[in-house]
Structure 1
Amino acid sequence: MTAAADNGYRDRLRGATGTAHVRLDARFAQGLREARQYRVYLLGMHAFVANAERALATATLGPGWHAWRDTARTPWLDEDLGALSLAPLTAGPALTVANDADAAGLLYVIEGSALGATQLVGDARALGHQAGTGATFLHRHGGLGAGKRWRAFVQCLEDADFDTAGERTMLEAAARAFACAEHEFHRADLAHAGAGG
């Protein structure tokens, strides 16, 4: 009976990171209704994504994971920061990706965030931002293909065959990714407050 209730790695990742996910979602529970919130979102997301992409770029991964690190989102965020005349945060503590299990955990957070981004596109538009004018990241990351991409990622995840140690590594990597994202949004809040809000 227990095996039937366990839908695989996705459910185990969701269970292991549920509290962190709720905390992160709570930060933007009302969406991005104010210009300040949007600037903090962009700064924090840029710092997190750039960190993650640096780690993934230098990792030695199996063929099944190559395509998932190929999408470079940092340039989209660079464009948005430029459109809003925002300087990126200095680099925070570096994430590391040593193997496929590390990558799976980190990518679970990145790919899952695209589903959340679909809910924020309208907020960015209401603030006057479109693709090319401050919301390129949200339009591309959370665009119409986000659901299809997520389903393809979950299939890749479920096709993986991690041993017990690998599964533990995957869960720990996802937890580190959520912690990193929380840390970067906190730093973005502080930086924005220091700049006069």
Structure 2
Amino acid sequence: MNVATNVEQPSLAKRLKAASAAVHDEVDHAVMAARPFASREAYERFLRFQYRLHRRVEPLYADPALQPVLPDLAERSRLEALEQDFADLGLTPPSDAAFGPALPREQALGWLYVVEGSNMGAAFLAKEAVKIGLSNDFGARHLAGHAEGRGLHWRKFTAALDAVELSPEQDAAAQAAAADAFAHVLVLVRQELN
């Protein structure tokens, strides 16, 4: 007797998570080891790291080709909040932080998965920021959760992400891009925080 098995493939978000898990763990450990909320000086280094990352991906948030795929994408950018954080603290953002290149859709999805996912972890970081006198209204605006809640905001993003149809080659490129994005984040952590 033959029994057909219908094994459903994991969602794109789950595939991106699996493809980037090892380097994601490295990033988490490196950030926490740097103790970015131990002092205002340490936080300033963390802010430079965040600015470099968000400046790098800003063109993706403004890419007109991605807006229909991820409908609230432009509103998700945190670069303006980061610039306000610098202003709150009387600091100047790094002048050598560059915008990244435009990317093919599948690679952009991998990078955006990483950056949007960081907002979930920011809940913990926002609590740590309070300990050094910062808040969603002063100095740590970019760590603030969305008004509808971090979880719902993330689920809306992953639902849109999971609805994108990709060929096997594009899917592989998206997974590689997520791992590349985390590797880039790790480089920035080491440059700015260590």
The TM-score normalised by the length of structure 2 is 0.84
Mapped pair 1:14 → 2:17: yes
Q: Could you tell me whether the CA contact under 8 Å between 2:85 and 2:139 is conserved in 1?
A: yes
Task: Give the C-alpha shift of residue 50 in structure 1.
Answer: 1.2
The residue type equivalent to 1:14 in the other structure is K
- Of 85-94 and 170-179, deviating more is 85-94
Match of 2:79 in 1: 74
Q: Deviations over 1:77-99 (max 9, x none)?
A: 01111222333224456533433
Task: Give the C-alpha shift of residue 177 in structure 1.
Answer: 1.6
Task: Give the C-alpha shift of residue 110 in structure 1.
Answer: 1.3
Task: Give the C-alpha shift of residue 8 in structure 1.
Answer: 1.9
Task: Give the C-alpha shift of residue 56 in structure 1.
Answer: 3.8
Q: Which runs of 5+ in 2 are unaligned?
A: none
1:106-185 equivalences under 5 Å are 106-140=111-145, 145-185=149-189
Larger helix proportion, structure 1 or 2? 1
Q: Which runs of 5+ in 1 are unaligned?
A: 191-197
Larger Rg computed on CA atoms = 2
Mapped pair 1:50 → 2:55: yes
Q: Percent identity?
A: 24
The residue type equivalent to 1:69 in the other structure is A
Task: Give the C-alpha shift of residue 59 in structure 1.
Answer: 5.8
RMSD of the TM alignment (CA)?
Answer: 2.5
1:91-102 equivalences under 5 Å are 91-92=96-97, 95-102=100-107
The residue type equivalent to 1:40 in the other structure is R
- Of 20-29 and 57-66, deviating more is 57-66
